[in-house]
């Protein structure tokens, strides 16, 4: 009898494990490069709470938009702007729009005193290169162009080939870290990252919000996904206390 009971219990446990495994889901999410470290940490917390897994594909917003249009199998898209997700919705390719973070633009240098002399340094243009993300595909790049135009220097330093463009904000940050550019406009989150190579190295100037269009970042569910419930769960998780704490720790604000 004990043997029969043991077998019955073993079978029940095996069945429960199989059901739990079957219920677990894996989603694939396209994410703007600036949000890399924050969303990786958020993804770990979401997995702990739900048992579901999330895989990420990082890149510039414009490039990810092109991949979605070409049929890339993403379940959700976390953009670095609001315009691109809204466009996907207008095209009938996305739904469940939500603004999850507001990014901050910073001027960073490993060698120049940009914390207190940012505008003077940019105006003097004695540097070899200033790095920005490609403004055609990266919202942080278009914000940098806005700032430079407001300073009245964009046309001149662009003509003098002082500006170098990274395909994404990640590439832009690398230009500065490697010294290929003496300074660059990057995402504050890249500097605030606890594991950032910028930690304890160089200095930065937080660009006044009045100098550029707010970088509100939005997420959408990609229409046709076979993992809609899990993808919606992940998008909504951005408003959880755990996610908000992580988002703010990387220098972002939560959009109202």
SS3 content of the chain, % helix, strand, coil (to 5): 50, 25, 30
- Predicted pLDDT of residue 58: 96
Q: Which two tokens stand for residue 34?
A: 């600036």
- Other beta carbons within 10 Å of 209: 13
Helices (H), the chain: 2-23, 36-50, 61-69, 83-90, 114-124, 139-151, 154-159, 169-177, 188-192, 228-237, 241-249
- Predicted pLDDT of residue 11: 40
> What letter would DSSP give residue 209?
G
Edge to edge, what strands does the sheet with 215-222 contain? 53-59, 26-32, 76-78, 215-222, 94-103
- Predicted pLDDT of residue 119: 96
Q: pLDDT under 50 in the chain at which residues?
A: 1-22
All domains of the chain in start order, with CATH:
2-103+215-249 (3.40.190.10), 105-206 (3.40.190.10)
- Predicted pLDDT of residue 246: 97
The contacts of residue 183 (CB under 8 Å, 6+ apart) are 107, 108, 109, 112, 114, 121, 122, 127, 130, 131, 176
């Amino acid at each position: 009898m004990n043997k029969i009971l043991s077998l019955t219990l073993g079978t029940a446990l095996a069945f429960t494990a199989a059901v739990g495994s079957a219920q677990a889901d894996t989603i694939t999410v396209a994410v703007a490069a600036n949000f890399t470290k924050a969303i990786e940490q958020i993804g770990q917390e979401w997995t702990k709470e739900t048992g579901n897994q999330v895989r990420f594909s990082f890149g510039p917003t414009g490039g990810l938009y092109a991949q979605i249009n070409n049929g890339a199998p993403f379940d959700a898209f976390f953009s670095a702007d609001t315009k691109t997700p809204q466009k996907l919705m207008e095209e009938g390719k996305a739904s469940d729009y939500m603004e999850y973070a507001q990014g901050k633009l910073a001027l960073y240098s490993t060698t120049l005193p940009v914390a207190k002399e940012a505008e003077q340094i940019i105006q003097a243009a004695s540097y070899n290169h200033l790095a920005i993300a490609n403004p055609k595909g990266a919202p942080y790049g278009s914000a940098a162009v806005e700032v430079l135009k407001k300073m009245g220097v964009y046309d001149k330093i662009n003509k003098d080939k002082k500006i170098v463009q990274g395909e994404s904000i990640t590439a832009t940050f690398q230009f500065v870290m490697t010294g290929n550019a003496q300074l660059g406009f990057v995402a504050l989150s890249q500097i605030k990252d606890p594991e950032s190579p910028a930690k304890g190295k160089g200095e930065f100037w937080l660009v006044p919000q009045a100098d550029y269009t707010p970088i509100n970042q939005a997420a959408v569910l990609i229409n046709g996904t076979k993992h809609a419930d899990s993808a919606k769960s992940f998008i909504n998780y951005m408003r959880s206390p755990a996610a908000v704490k992580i988002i703010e720790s990387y220098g972002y604000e939560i959009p109202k």
